[in-house]
Amino acid sequence: MHEPLSLLCLPCAGASATMYLRWRRQLPRWIEVVPVELPGRGARLAEPFVEDFEALTLRLCTEQAPAMRGRFALFGHSMGALLAHGMAQKLRASGRPMPRAIVASGSPAPTHRDPARRYAAKGDHAGLIADLRKQGGTPDEVFASADLMHITLAVLGADYRVCESFLPLGDAPLPMPLHVLAGRQDDIAVPRIEAWAGETAGSFTVDWFDGGHFFIREHEGAVLATLARRLAAVTGEPT
């Protein structure tokens, strides 16, 4: 019997690790979901944010070392996909074991991010709220609660600064399979999704789902079935 595959799941901007808790009950038992909490939110609410991409990916590689000792893979949605890719680059640079696969969801390739993208500034609450409403996926009760909205806007602003600090370095393609999940109604142009193919020297797939940026919630069952199938293909586990 194989050891479980640890699936480290990195959140999107403005979110916490709780976005992945449900997956523990819905994925096959051989996949051990590890929701990754970033500083400044959820169980780490009292910690200061880390707002620099390089510093955050380095810190995550250190903090998550216990989960990356055996078989593991990295999953990230939106900003989380960028962090997963950055972590894999850091692991390779330090000579550490690499993930069996990376699954990037709802994100353009790192070298094909939209140069016209303008992130709302820290103090621009109206702009941040507009972004939340545009992307979807934020429960109505968050908009209705001043306290929840305050926390959400603080997290979102910090995460936007992480995204702004990212600089593509033109690193060599990674040596493991890379699988991409995308929403057909998301506003990310198809060529920028397909450009992930240039980030891997291994196998590459793209799976499309109906829905916008948060298709992973709109069609969770289909997304998780596809995720399990892609991970089974690289680990030899039964589907």
**Where are the chain's structural domains?**
5-114+168-235
Whole-number pLDDT of residue 3: 85
Query: Model-level pTM?
Result: 0.90
CATH of domain 5-114+168-235: 3.40.50.1820
Going by C-beta distance under 8 Å and a sequence separation of 6 or more, which residues neighbour residue 207?
179, 180, 181, 182, 226, 230
Helix, strand and coil content of the chain, in percent to the nearest 5, comes to 45, 15, 40
Q: What is the 3-state secondary structure (H, E, C) of 107-153?
A: CCCHHHCCCCCCCCCCCCHHHHHHHHHHHCCCCHHHHHCHHHHHHHH
Q: What is the pLDDT along the chain (239 residues), one digit of tens a residue?
A: 578 999 999 999 988 999 999 999 999 999 999 999 999 998 999 999 999 999 999 999 999 999 999 999 999 999 999 999 999 999 999 999 999 999 999 999 999 986 555 555 545 666 666 666 666 556 666 655 567 777 778 888 899 899 989 988 778 999 999 999 999 999 999 999 999 999 999 999 999 999 999 999 999 999 999 999 999 999 988 87
Whole-number pLDDT of residue 165: 92
